[in-house]
């Protein structure tokens, strides 16, 4: 299940907003699997469907999907979502760096394409720039963690829940420290990348509804408060 309950009132059930706060009102589920355009589908308990956009970045949603996959016992899925989250973060990091240096979106998009679809190339560009621009070296997955990931993703190893939580926690730690370092190194670039994403989400949303903002474990907007020290196990307990 990739559907989460969101504290949002269905506009079709309650067009004039008069029932806000009425707990008997239909509940709304949001499906976290995006379509290709970064839009998501929501459905209220009476069946009203809607296409919505989220303020959250792709890497934030992918990590959330990894956590739900662990909760639901889809362990291999959690490893691939964690990996996809890291890869999506690499793009965000390099984009924020480019914007910090006055490079426009179109030019970055073209440069990003040059790296091709190889995650290896993208990661090398990320690591090189991290080392050049951030105050400390990046936190990395250990060689053992990478080997373990490859054996799950490529050799069909069936991971246990415990292994997936350990791996997910390592990925969470990588993301939490890297978000902090990116904010320090590229304060304006990070802001610009977040605003650009929110504006694109606004355009992708159906009708005039503003993009939704949901609480995610990895959360750029909440980075800096106690939330940024969340552990995966504690968040899984909250989700169950």
Which residues sit at the interface with Zn ion, rule CB under 5 A? 10, 12-13, 26, 44, 46, 48
Contact 172, 232 (CB under 8 A): yes
- Distance between CA atoms of 159 and 151, rounded to whole angstroms? 9
For Zn ion, the closer of residues 12 and 35 by Cβ is: 12
For Zn ion, the closer of residues 40 and 92 by Cβ is: 40
Length of the chain counted residue by residue: 240
Contact 91, 139 (CB under 8 A): no
- Distance between CA atoms of 66 and 79, rounded to whole angstroms? 7
Q: Give the nearest distance from C-beta 45 to Zn ion in angstroms.
A: 7
Q: Give the nearest distance from C-beta 55 to Zn ion in angstroms.
A: 22
Q: Give the nearest distance from C-beta 19 to Zn ion in angstroms.
A: 11
End-to-end CA distance of the chain: 12
Q: Could you tell me the strand order of the sheet in which 39-44 lies?
A: 3-6, 28-31, 39-44, 49-53
Q: Give the nearest distance from C-beta 28 to Zn ion in angstroms.
A: 7
For Zn ion, the closer of residues 33 and 46 by Cβ is: 46
Token pair recorded at residue 149: 């990931």
C-alpha of 172 from chain center: 11
Contacts (Cβ under 8 Å, ≥6 apart) of 211: 52, 53, 54, 55, 198, 201, 202, 204, 205
Q: Give the nearest distance from C-beta 43 to Zn ion in angstroms.
A: 8
For Zn ion, the closer of residues 9 and 171 by Cβ is: 9
C-alpha of 139 from chain center: 18
- 229 DSSP assignment: G
Token pair recorded at residue 98: 């480019």
Q: Give the nearest distance from C-beta 171 to Zn ion in angstroms.
A: 36
For Zn ion, the closer of residues 14 and 129 by Cβ is: 14
For Zn ion, the closer of residues 27 and 123 by Cβ is: 27
Q: Give the nearest distance from C-beta 4 to Zn ion in angstroms.
A: 17
For Zn ion, the closer of residues 48 and 183 by Cβ is: 48
């Amino acid at each position: 299940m990739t559907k989460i309950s969101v504290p949002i009132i269905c506009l079709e059930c309650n067009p004039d907003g008069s029932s806000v706060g009425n707990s008997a009102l239909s509940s709304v589920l949001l499906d976290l699997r995006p379509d290709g355009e970064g839009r998501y589908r929501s459905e209220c308990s009476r069946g009203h469907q809607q296409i919505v956009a989220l303020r959250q970045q792709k890497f934030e949603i992918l990590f959330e999907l990894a956590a739900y996959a662990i909760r639901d016992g889809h362990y291999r899925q959690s490893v691939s979502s964690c990996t996809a989250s890291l890869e999506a973060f690499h793009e965000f990091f390099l984009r924020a760096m480019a914007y910090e240096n006055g490079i426009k979106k179109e030019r970055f998009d073209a440069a990003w394409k040059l790296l091709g679809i190889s995650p290896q190339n993208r990661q090398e560009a990320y690591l090189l720039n991290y080392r050049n621009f951030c105050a400390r070296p990046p936190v990395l997955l250990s060689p053992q963690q990478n080997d373990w990931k490859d054996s799950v993703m490529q050799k069909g190893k069936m991971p246990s829940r415990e292994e997936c939580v350990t791996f997910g926690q390592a990925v969470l730690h990588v993301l939490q420290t890297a978000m902090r370092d990116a904010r320090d190194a590229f304060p304006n670039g990070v802001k610009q990348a977040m605003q650009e994403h929110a504006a694109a989400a606004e355009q992708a949303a159906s009708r005039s509804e503003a993009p939704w903002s949901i609480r995610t474990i990895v959360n750029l907007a909440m980075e800096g408060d106690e939330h940024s020290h969340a552990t995966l196990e504690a968040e899984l307990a909250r989700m169950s």
